[in-house]
Structure 1
Amino acid sequence: MSKVEEFEELRPLLFSIAYRILGSVGEAEDAVQETWLRFDGSSTRPASAKAFLSAAVTRISIDVLRSARVRREEYVGPWFPEPLLSDPYQDPAQAVELADSVSMAALLLERLSPLERAVFVLREVFAFEFGEVAAAVGRSEAACRQLLVRARRHMEAGRPRFEADRQERHELATRFFDALKSGDVDGLRDLLAADVQLVGDGGGKAPQLAKAVMGAQNVARVLGTVYPLMSRIDVTFEPHEVNGQPGAIFRDRDGKVLHTLALDVLDGQIQTIRTVINPDKLGHLGPVADAWAVDREVKQARRRMN
């Protein structure tokens, strides 16, 4: 097998590792490309292409994350990962773990250091042996075990595990989007946890909520008021899994991507609703809508109704 063939066979795994460390589609793709350049430029053929490439993409991703964290401290408003619609690495035996590890909640756990995140991803998500993990991150096996213990502790303390089965989540999401489409505030409220949060990521480059909306009644009222206005100007949405969780892609009248929405579901209720409207994070999904223009039209529609 040629180097190109070996690399292409492992590309889905490499992207999936990089994305889980970085939370950025673009940065993950760049890390994979840099990994190829290192692999192609190496004068010797490694005994294991998987070990070499996994280690390379992990080290590159750690370095990128360290610099990215500085930029994220200056980010305008909440920072969310770039929405991922489908994970290229498919392993039916790990379907639940893979979906859970790519959720917005998992990727937002900033308390993990870059090394802790890398060790967690390699060992807990992709089941690498500790020797492989140690080689990838440049630490001893004992150190990696300690990093994993800390990472697990943070993960368990910082987020819920989404234990609802896929069918239950799908049915709840279907009811949510039906209620959203009809502007049914009471129907929306019944699906939301009492302390639900609605949070948006515009990055200062698109209209977004001034602050998170808290509480079932407030969130239901906002959603039940805004979407009917959006539908009046031909904004549509298509339910779609986003980062392994129920969600949707919203589009303007020309079919351009306006924003994504993802639902965190736990105990039969929606706990968190996250929207990503920053145009810089949507380009990989297709042509991006002018969110400011849509916002102006929504405001005009509201004035006409009043």
Structure 2
Amino acid sequence: MTRAEEFEQLRPLLFAIAYRILGSVSEAEDAVQETWLGYQDYPAEPESARAFLSTVVTRTSINVLRSARVRRETYAGPWLPEPLLADPYQDPERSAELADSVSMAALLLLERLSPLERAVFVLREVFAFGFPEIASAVGRSESACRQLAVRARRHMDAGRPRFEADRREREQLADRFFEAFREGDLDALRELLAADVQMTSDSGGKAPQLPKPVVGVDNVARVLVAVAEPLARIGVVVDPRPVNGQPGAILRDRDDRPFNTLALDILDGQIQAIRIVINPDKLGHLGPVGDAWALSRAFNQARRPTSEK
């Protein structure tokens, strides 16, 4: 097998590692590409391509994360991970860990860890790497990696998101939510939202967004109802589909261009959080992105009484 063939076989795993460390599709893709370039130029033949490439992509991702965190300190408004519609890496024996670890809630929790803790946690808890492999990947001793893993697990367990065990029940609840949203049904939305539900949006200052997180069942339900009809008037389509392994949707303009994603956290039969990504820089991997500013102008026009138009 050629190096190119080996690399393509391992690409899904490498992307999955990088995305969980970085929370960014574009940065993960860049890390994987940099790993391939390094593999091409590596003079020796690694004993294990999987171990070698996992080490390179992990170290690359740690370096990228350190610089990304500096940029995030000046990020305009709330920061959310780039939405991922489908995880390219699948392992039936670890399907639950893989799905939960890619959720928006889990990725935000990982933001609390240091880059080294995050890398160790991802390699150990998500992909079941042994400590000798992890030590090689992060350039620390096995004992140091075990300590990093303990600290990371403690932080994650303290705030670990818990999702409904029955995926079908979550999907059915999400279907009811999007139907109530399309119809602007205030009472139906109230029934589906948790009392302390929180709705957050991430535009990075590059698109209209909520001025601040909206908290509480009545506030969130009213906002959703207020925007539903004007969005329908300007041809916006709600396209339900999984986002980061959880129920969600892509909102598309009348030209079928994505301009917004929603991810839902569902627990105990209610929606606990709604996370909206509208920053066009984070949506480019979904296809040509709609103009959120133009949509905002059309939306505001659609909200005006007929006599004012």
Q: TM-score, normalised by structure 2?
A: 0.97
Residue 22 (structure 1) aligned with residue 26 (structure 2): no
Q: Distance in 1 between matches of 2:164 and 2:123?
A: 22
Residue 242 (structure 1) aligned with residue 262 (structure 2): no
Change over 3 Å in CA distance of 1:23–1:285 after alignment to 2? same
Residue of structure 2 in register with 1:123 after alignment: 124
Gaps of 5+ in 1: none
Q: Distance in 1 between matches of 2:165 and 2:299?
A: 35
- More deviation, 98-107/153-162: 153-162
**CA distances 1:195-222 after superposition (whole Å, capped 9, x unpaired):** 0001000100000000000000110110
Q: How does 1:111-150 map to 2 (within 5 A)?
A: 111-150=112-151
| Conserved 8 A contact 1:256-1:287 | yes
Residue 41 (structure 1) aligned with residue 41 (structure 2): yes
How far 1:158 sits from its partner (Å)? 2.4
Aligned-residue Cα RMSD (Å) equals 0.9
Residue of structure 2 in register with 1:52 after alignment: 52
Q: Distance in 2 between matches of 1:147 and 1:305?
A: 61
Q: Distance in 2 between matches of 1:185 and 1:163?
A: 24
Q: TM-score, normalised by structure 1?
A: 0.98
How far 1:34 sits from its partner (Å)? 0.6
**CA distances 1:144-185 after superposition (whole Å, capped 9, x unpaired):** 111111111111112322143211110110110110111001
Residue 99 (structure 1) aligned with residue 99 (structure 2): yes
Gaps of 5+ in 2: none
Q: Per the alignment, in what secondary structure is the counterpart of residue 85 of structure 2?
A: coil
Residue of structure 2 in register with 1:187 after alignment: 188
Number of aligned residue pairs: 306
Q: Distance in 2 between matches of 1:125 and 1:247?
A: 23
- More deviation, 101-110/246-255: 101-110
| Conserved 8 A contact 1:164-1:268 | no
Q: Distance in 2 between matches of 1:17 and 1:305?
A: 52
Q: Distance in 1 between matches of 2:157 and 2:306?
A: 47
Residue of structure 1 in register with 2:271 after alignment: 270
Q: Distance in 2 between matches of 1:241 and 1:134?
A: 34
Instruction: Name the aligned partner's letter for residue 159 of structure 1.
Output: R
| Conserved 8 A contact 2:164-2:170 | no
Residue 200 (structure 1) aligned with residue 184 (structure 2): no
**CA distances 1:110-160 after superposition (whole Å, capped 9, x unpaired):** 210100110011010000111101110011111111111111111111232
